[in-house]
Structures are given as structure tokens and as C-alpha cells.
Structure 1
Amino acid sequence: MLLMDEPFGAVDPITREHLQDELIRLQHELHKTIVFVTHDFDEAIKIGDRIAVLRERSHIAQFDTPEAILTNPADDFVSGFVGAGAALKRLNLTRVRDVEITDYPTVMIDDPLQQIFNRLRAGGINEVLLLDRLGRPYKWLRRGDLMRARGSLARAGTLVHDTVTRDATLRDALEAVLTDNTGRVAVTGRRGEYTGVVDMETLLNSVHDMLEADRLDALEHQHELEELRAAQTHAEQEGGGSVTGVGGFGGTR
């Protein structure tokens, strides 16, 4: 068992995200139990399989899965700890590896300009991803960028500001898409090499699926409540008693 007491608290946000991804990758390889102390609830959601929310004197307010804490906090204290934007925080529950990672046209930095033009023309596309000599995402190149390049790619295109790994969360991916302002984010491997892209449409579809699942859960919950009320009413009419639970459903918070 490993005990980690706020290990990423003193680093900048970008480095922190990469360290979180690396910890998750290592945990998948080593299969070690880790007790990770943090005051950052988003970090807890991203890293933890189970979260213990502690109140005063280290009393456990709730110990549950991240999804259960986000969707069904035990009390007002936990709800306040979760804070606003619980729906957005749920994007931390899904990893990039769990959604569709698509391929995208790529060219290498040493490719001749004419070859890159031919690639654009042949594919009927207006943009490619330029990779450096190690196969890492470097720039987004549009057709107009190439026309202004004048024989050199040094000043052409838009630098790739951020990438995500397969272990990154969908919230990480969404932030990277918004940072690059290209409608997509490049996905990289362990050494930073390009492996594919995740686009905004995929992220929005994931959000839609989450909201739809919440709606169905709410309908099911409402149906259970109606059955409970009907059973209680029937019991009171028959014998004046009361019902505390039916079909394994023991009440609501």
C-alpha cells in the first residue's frame, strides 16, 4: 500500500494533469492500493476508485464511488464539498480511452511542401496535423498556411498547445479542445507520440449520453417512489398499518 499526502499540490496545473495521468497509468501496471490525500475534489474524482469525504475530526461523511458522490451526496456537507458544477465534474469519470479515438491526416516536418499539398488535395481536406521528427504533434496546418509558407514550415500553422493521453479524463480533453480552438485534441502515447484525435462532437455526444442516463435513472426512481406510495396506501386501507419498504426499496434521502 502507498500513502501519498497531497503529492501534486505544489506544481502548476498542466504538470499536475500529466502527473495524475502518469499515476493512473502506473497504478494500472502495478495494481497497488494507494491512499491519496487531496483537497482538490476534481483530483479525487479523476484518480480515486473510492472517495472518503471527511468532516471535522476526520469523521467519514461519505465513502463511495466518485459517481455516487456526485449524483447522490449523503448530506448537505458532502453536497457543499462537491460544490457547483457537479454535472461538469462527471466528465472526470470517463477516460479518453473509453470514447472513440479517430485518425486524422498527418504529415511529417521533413515532408516537402509539394507532398503536403498533394496530401491535402488528394484527401479533399483543408487541414493536416504536422508531426515532429519523433512523431509528436507539433502544428495544425491549413491550406492557407501552406500557401503563405514560401518554402518553409517554420512560421506556418498553429502550434499544438496541449495534448491528452488515453488515461486523461474527458474534462481534460474538453479543456484542451477549448485551449487549441481547433475543435479537436491530439491523443498521445507514453512518449508523446501521436495516436489519434478526439473531437468536440465526440465529447458532446458523451455529455448527452450522461444526461440521458441521468434522465432514465430519475424516471426509474420516480417509478419506485410511486410503487412505494401505492403499496403504503393499499396497506393502510387494508389494515391501518404502514409500509417501510417494498421490493428491496427502503426509502429515499
Structure 2
Amino acid sequence: MARALAADPPVLLMDEPFGAVDPITRQRLQDELINIQHELQKTIVCVTHDFDEAVKLGDWIAVFDEGARVVQYDAPERILAEPADEFVEDFIGSGAGLKQLTLTRVREVDLVPAATARPGEDVRAVLRRADETGTRDVVVVDDRGRPLSWPSRRQLERVGTVPRERNERLPLVGTNSTLNDALDTMLVSSTGAALVVGARDRFEGVIYVETVMAAITEARRSVAAEDAPLGHNTGELPAVDATPGGGGR
């Protein structure tokens, strides 16, 4: 029995894991959980009352009514497109179209490239490099390619060398973040754009609000998940005779 149990894949149960943290920290912890899951490939069962969080984290969502009755078990996109009943509609809440943004990851959209610069580098060389590549953004990165600051062209033209200061309030989103996360980050920072970082926080590119708006338009046109199975409590479960010779397994 012990050997059989050891062979089974472990399941991690998380009950409201991010309910007590602020929104920005919650977003980063969710992204980190997704990164960990991609590396370890473990099954995670997450209990939450936040539907946006369920859509972001879950490959499948089970919506429970009172009495632990499963009212819908589906892929997130199917639940958003075809809620089983009024209870699920109320649980989803208003703005279902915007919630479609939670289905798309930042890595799935085209990012805008930016010229990168190192602290202490000659500004004229940096601006010349930006002009040659046709990029309007210059991002200062450290030796590991992690963003330090995001100065405007006008700010750079006022100095001779690239500044070394780190901006602690940079609008950052990860490649595993959702477009909804990216939009939240843009609104909080009032920049209309955000820097995208990948593995080990290495700079990957810039995402603009226009990209998010285009995704909203596309989400209104069509909703995927044609092959998602339905999971409603629409009938009785078949009884199984477990007595010897009764056909039970």
C-alpha cells in the first residue's frame, strides 16, 4: 500500500492562499505559483472566492453552490461564455467581456521591442542605437538584463551618461501575467504601457494599452473552448453494486 501511494502524483491543496495580501503582491505571487507549476508539473487544487483568480490560475474550474453542489465544471473560457445558470452568472459578476482578458497571457501577444542601455553608457550612443532600430523606448537594465529604469528620450538628452538609479515603481508584468494584470498595472501607474519581464526578471519588451484594447475587441468576436466538456449536475449518478459478483470494480 505504501509503495502504491508513493507512486501516485502528489496533489497540493491551497485554501485562499492570496486572500490576505495587497493586489500588486497578489498578482506577483500568482505569477510565481504559475512559474512553479510549469516547472514541477504538479496538480494544484486552489479554493478561492475570487473568480478572476480562478480564471487566471485554473485549467478547470468547479463552481459550487450551497450544500457543496457542483453547478458547473468547465474550462474557464466556457464558463465565461456559457454560464450554467443564474448562480454562475452572479458569481462571475459584471464585465464578463473584460474577464476574457484573464484568459490571455502576456507571452501570447506581440510585444514592442525597446533599446536597452547599461548604467554609465554614453547617451548619444544609446539614442543612436534606438534610432537605428526604430524603437521609441529605452530601458536601462543591469548586468543580468533586469530593468532598472525607463527614462524618456527627453530625460536622457539632459544627461551625458545613462543614470544608475533604480526606479522602484516601474510598471512591471511577467510573461505569465494575464492581460488583465497588465491593464491593472498600466492603470495604477498611469503610463499606458508596462515593461514585460521573463525568467529571472529579464527584460523582454513593452506592452501597450492598444494591445490590450485589441484583445478586448477580439474577445467580443469569438470565444473558444469548443471542445470543453460540460460538467453540470443534471442527473443522478448511476448506482454501482460493489458486492461480490455484482459488477463493481
TM-score normalised over the length of structure 2: 0.76
Distance 1:6 1:158, change over 3 A: closer
User: Aligned to 1:68, what secondary structure does the other structure show?
Assistant: helix
Report if aligned partners of 2:105, 2:178 keep a CA contact under 8 Å in 1.
yes
Mapped partners of 2:39, 2:162: distance in 1: 43
Mapped partners of 2:114, 2:191: distance in 1: 13
Deviation at 1:144, TM superposition (A): 1.6
User: Aligned to 1:141, what secondary structure does the other structure show?
Assistant: coil
> What are structure 2's unaligned runs of at least 5 residues?
1-10, 227-249
Report if aligned partners of 1:102, 1:196 keep a CA contact under 8 Å in 2.
yes
Mapped partners of 1:178, 1:207: distance in 2: 16
User: Aligned to 1:116, what secondary structure does the other structure show?
Assistant: helix
Deviation at 1:126, TM superposition (A): 5.0
1:71-90 equivalent positions in 2, closer than 5 A = 71-90=81-100
Report if aligned partners of 1:20, 1:47 keep a CA contact under 8 Å in 2.
yes
2:33 counterpart residue number: 23
Equivalent residue letter for 1:200:
V
1:139 counterpart residue number: 149
Report if aligned partners of 2:52, 2:102 keep a CA contact under 8 Å in 1.
yes
Percentage of matched positions with identical amino acids: 45
2:112 counterpart residue number: 102
1:149 counterpart residue number: 159
User: Aligned to 2:150, what secondary structure does the other structure show?
Assistant: strand
2:51 counterpart residue number: 41
* 2:176 maps to 1:167: yes
Equivalent residue letter for 1:91:
L
Mapped partners of 1:99, 1:121: distance in 2: 24
2:221 counterpart residue number: 212
User: Aligned to 1:118, what secondary structure does the other structure show?
Assistant: helix
Equivalent residue letter for 2:184:
E
Report if aligned partners of 1:107, 1:131 keep a CA contact under 8 Å in 2.
yes
Report if aligned partners of 1:109, 1:133 keep a CA contact under 8 Å in 2.
no
- Which has more helix, going by share of residues? 1
Equivalent residue letter for 2:126:
I
Distance 1:212 1:73, change over 3 A: same
1:225-244 equivalent positions in 2, closer than 5 A = none
> What are structure 1's unaligned runs of at least 5 residues?
218-253
1:203 counterpart residue number: 212
Distance 1:65 1:127, change over 3 A: closer
Between 1 and 2, higher relative CO (CA 8 Å, sep ≥ 6) is seen in 2
Report if aligned partners of 1:140, 1:160 keep a CA contact under 8 Å in 2.
no
1:183 counterpart residue number: 192
Report if aligned partners of 1:120, 1:143 keep a CA contact under 8 Å in 2.
no
Mapped partners of 1:48, 1:8: distance in 2: 14
Distance 1:118 1:6, change over 3 A: same
Equivalent residue letter for 2:217:
H
- Give the one of 116, 120, 140 matched to 2:126: 116
Report if aligned partners of 1:103, 1:197 keep a CA contact under 8 Å in 2.
yes
Mapped partners of 1:192, 1:167: distance in 2: 12
User: Aligned to 1:168, what secondary structure does the other structure show?
Assistant: coil
Report if aligned partners of 1:93, 1:169 keep a CA contact under 8 Å in 2.
yes
Distance 1:25 1:39, change over 3 A: same
* 2:103 maps to 1:93: yes
Deviation at 1:113, TM superposition (A): 2.7
Deviation at 1:210, TM superposition (A): 1.1
Larger radius of gyration: 1
